[in-house]
Amino acid sequence: MFQFTPPRRVPAAGIDRIASPYAALAVVISAMSPHERFETIIVTLDRERRGRTILVVTGTAEADALLGIADMIAELAIGDPDAGGVVIASVRPGGGIETGDFERWEEADEICADAGFDLVEWFVLGASIHCPRELGEVGPRW
């Protein structure tokens, strides 16, 4: 489980590097709906790990929604020489880690790698904050 203390400010897009899980979560939380709902927040990063775009996909209650989102981001990144990485956050109100989340992490990571960029982190935000990569003892990519 991840313990989060917000930074003093949210990193500025195209200027500040998103170089820690704390900075990434500050961006994610700033984009979250104020109402509890299933949604996925995507933060695309350039090669210097500066934020580029924030996308919010609503209605992502199915755990496998991550894979469709990874496919979508990979399609958008094809041919973009500045695509460097992505941070994805699945909001699961009242929930948390689900069976198969590590396998989902592995598959999404492979989709991103095949498209030429890094899946830097996948957060699951529910009753607490988790990073499914930790279930397989995959180290952080910050």
Structural domain spans, the chain:
21-136
The secondary structure of 78-124 as a DSSP string is TT-TTEEEEEEEEE-TT----TTHHHHHHHHHHHHHHHTSEEEEEEE
> Does residue 65 carry a pLDDT above 90?
yes
pLDDT confidence bin for 81, thresholds 50/70/90 = confident
Quick: pLDDT tens for 1-48: 555 555 567 887 878 899 999 999 999 999 999 999 999 999 999 999
Residues in the chain: 142
- CATH tag, 21-136: 3.40.140.10
The answer to whether the CB of 88 falls within 8 A of the CB of 70 is: yes
pLDDT confidence bin for 78, thresholds 50/70/90 = confident
Percent of the chain with pLDDT over 90: 83
* Token pair belonging to 10: 């949210």
CA dist 101 → 65, 83, 94, 123, 131 (Å): 11, 25, 16, 11, 9
State the pTM of this model. 0.91
Buried b (16+ CB within 10 A) or exposed e, 61-74: eebebbeebbeebb
